[in-house]
Amino acid sequence: MNYLQISALERLIQNRAELARLQQNAYQTAQSYSWSTIAQQRLAAYEAAINKRDSQ
């Protein structure tokens, strides 16, 4: 680890509110990569492509 990484970790240890905020943001970001979410996005893209093809 370099000095900047150590410094950032020290700040998070001292600032629990910031740590909690970062944890929540990381969790929400990870949810957008779930298999269910990705499958829904892929299905929507396929349906849009089919609808576009059918309307031509």
Arithmetic mean of pLDDT, 3-19: 95
Sign of CA dihedral 18, 24, 29, 34: positive
Tokens of 19: 């740590």
**pLDDT computed for residue 11 by the predictor:** 95
How many beta carbons lie within 10 A of that of residue 12, not counting itself?
14
State pTM to two decimals: 0.57
Q: What is the pLDDT of residues 16-56, one digit of tens each?
A: 999 999 999 999 999 888 899 899 999 999 999 999 999 98
